[in-house]
Structure 1
Amino acid sequence: MGLLVDGEWRDQWYDTSKTGGAFKRTEAKFRNWITADGSPGPSGEGGFEAEADRYHLYVSYACPWAHRTLIFRTLKGLEDLIGVSVVHPDMLHDGWSLDPDYPGATGDQLYGLAFARDVYLKAEPTMSGRVTVPILWDRKREAIVSNESSEIIRMFNSAFDGLTGNQNDLWPEHLREAIEPVNARIYDTLNNGVYKAGFATTQTAYDAAIVPLFDTLDWLEDRLSQQRYLMGDIITEADWRLFTTLVRFDAVYHGHFKCNRARIVDYPNLWGYLRELYQWPGIKATVNMDHIRRHYHYSHESINPHRIVSIGPNLDFEAPHGRDATSA
């Protein structure tokens, strides 16, 4: 995970020596919004009107943040409106690569660029900042709309409804106030918590991350014993934001990131809930476990210097989940 400094690439990992061994994620740089009529969104500038074939996603199947956007692209019926380029699962000294020489990797479908950093430089030649996915690209303006996944999924939730006719609302107005603290806890202690545990370079930093992580899993297990989804009887963005971490947990976070007090399969309600979401129409196709396992084990040299990809575990996401309307 390198970065650009005034348009120049540097192979530089996060410096945990300044944070007591703790991993600190940097904020996304591009924060514009696609809206139905091109008016400005909550941040950034206007001019990004919802149009067919105008926007393109650069994603990694391995990355949980990019995975969110693929899920919303599917749930909102945007596959024919928004194209996708998938990076190679190995993120090495040049960062995310657009090399198509791996099953499932597509290369750059727009310009034939070699690396994700080249997409950033095409938008801003003197850019400084981390090179991350997802990248939501505007083909008309040749600009990055956003690289903040939590905001991209909200654009996808509503901006294109007039074109698709898909009125499925995953961020319903009457639940927004209740969703925010749930999202915030899950993000801080679990979505990002697995990284804070896995990338910690001191025992103190690891301990500070791992305890709240499993407190949150315990809290979620109890919550899902009383209701079918996080916000009750309807599925919302909160569930899909959680899903992308849960589906990776036993395969990579449990062992590779030392999140090994328990597995998701050890939580009856979480495990059934995870299987239900995996079996949701269209979702299975967004999950590429080969890319997930390959990326984490092969890319993180500081954790796994010999780049050995472990053999397991065997997870049957397609087993009956048992979470019908009367059992949750």
Structure 2
Amino acid sequence: MFRINSMAYEVPLVSGLYAQRFIEFMEARGISKEALLEGTELDEVLKNSGTLLLSINQVTRMMASARRFLDDDMAAFEFGRTLDLQGHGLLGFALLKQKDFRDLANMVVQYLRVSLPILDMRVSCSGDEIRIALQDVWDLKELRPFFVNIYMGSIYSLTSLICRRFHFEFDFSVDHEHEMWHRLAPHANLSFSSSGNQVVVPLSGRPARDGNDELAFYLASARSRDDVKGDEHMELVARVREEVLRYPGREGTLERVGERLGMSARSLRHHLKMAGVSFHDIRNQVRKTFATRYLKDTNMPLNKIAEVLGYSDQASFTKAYRGWTGATPGDIRRGFIQTQS
């Protein structure tokens, strides 16, 4: 194995913005920033995380501390999943315009290698498959599975732009039942105790997708995350909102969200009630925000917006939108066009 000079472990490489996102993720799970950073000597360092670069040693100290609190081996994958286009700073608007999905995969890999240089990544294409292999160049030892899961979760989110079927291979075993992993990563096959860590993305049979619609979705999603607010200290509410933001359409029902969170619909409804909110209100708030962004920021047809948001037809969407705002989608779009002309 190629050996890296020990001095390289102290070189600033990783954006502090990723550290801040991880701190927020841990806080949503009930772990305070103070507890996470205790003993890591990162308290003062991370005060200016927006412009800071962290060394590999600093990153591994934080993650080693996190492992003391996380007994859930799916947590790292779940955090990685939050590193979608928005999580990487909206890198992907340029990527979304790529017509060749092999080029898209290569751009995703190259971006991650530069912005998050903890694991190295190799991409190869063979026939109708793209393979993204992860390699540990820093000798991460017992932290390696943790970082692999973060990368895999992020790759899962990013390669959703390519297709809906993936095969993930991990070279370690896990504690949770495989069914729980499938809930965390719908549309993916996962194999553990394999010979290596890689993602296989088959291009054959890839669903036809409209690039403009895809761009519109991410534009709406990015801005909606800023607009849709709630009590961020309530972990379950935050996780439910995140799921609905990911799947504002037919996959965003109470039953489907509960399934992905490993809960029954009845139990999920009960816990949300205890937090003083309802699933119906969360979903409608997200749908309203998405709909308004689609109407103002894109030219997506009204029937397509209705479909993306899970309505059976345009009339149902129009009725719902009027109930939320007192105006029809057509009113909003005409008003926006007039103000721009």
Superposition TM-score tier, normalisation by shorter sequence? under 0.3
Structure holding more helix per residue: 2
TM-score by length of structure 1 reads: 0.26
Which of 1 and 2 has greater Rg?
2
TM-score by length of structure 2 reads: 0.26
